[in-house]
Amino acid sequence: MATFSIERTAPLPPAEAWRRLTTWQRHGDVVPLTRVTVLTPPPTGVGTRFVARTGLGPLAFDDPMEVTVWEPPGEDGAPGRCRLEKRGRLVRGWAEIEVGPGPGGRARVRWREELTVRPLPSALGGPLERSGRYVFGRAVNQLLRRP
């Protein structure tokens, strides 16, 4: 199991940072070898389900997820929060995305994730945590930079 956290401050209003991070198909544009398919009709909310398929050809796996908490940022400055439950055969766990106001009118983003990859022994939790922080940190950076 690996647990990691990523924090960023972006020169965006919180509502725009939220949109960029929670438009699920965009994640496939920034996570290597990954395609995201949303399985439920819009708009996103509790119960939205999607699958991130990562890999090449037969060497790929599905990471099915479901939104279990959906609280967009409030116009009153209240932070937004989204929780995803990972329900795959190989990848289990959860991810939480929080977006709120930061200094100077910027958005403060916090991404927390807990991953369990079933065939990996627990001794590989440290490398999994470091690689998760790197891959998801890059993805968050790119999602926040792209309109």
The interaxial angle of helices 14-22 and 125-145, nearest 10 deg, is: 120
H-assigned helices in 7-99: 14-22, 27-30
What percent of the chain lies above the pLDDT cut of 70?
A: 100
Taking alpha carbons only, the member of 58, 123, 65 closest to residue 91 is: 65
H-assigned helices in 1-147: 14-22, 27-30, 125-145
Do 65 and 50 form a contact (C-beta atoms < 8 A)?
Answer: yes
Q: What does the pLDDT look like over 87-130, one tens digit per residue?
A: 999 999 999 999 999 999 999 999 999 998 887 777 777 888 99
pLDDT of residue 85: 98
Q: What does the pLDDT look like over 64-85, one tens digit per residue?
A: 999 999 999 998 999 999 999 9
> Taking all residues of the chain, what is their mean pLDDT, rounded to a whole number?
94
Q: Phi then psi for 45, rounded to 5 degrees?
A: -170, -175
| Inter-CA distances, 28 with 10, 102, 104, 122, Å | 21, 27, 31, 28
Distance in angstroms (rounded) separating the CA atoms of residues 105 and 12: 8
Peptide bond into 127 cis (omega under 30): no
Taking alpha carbons only, the member of 135, 147, 144, 146 closest to residue 31 is: 135
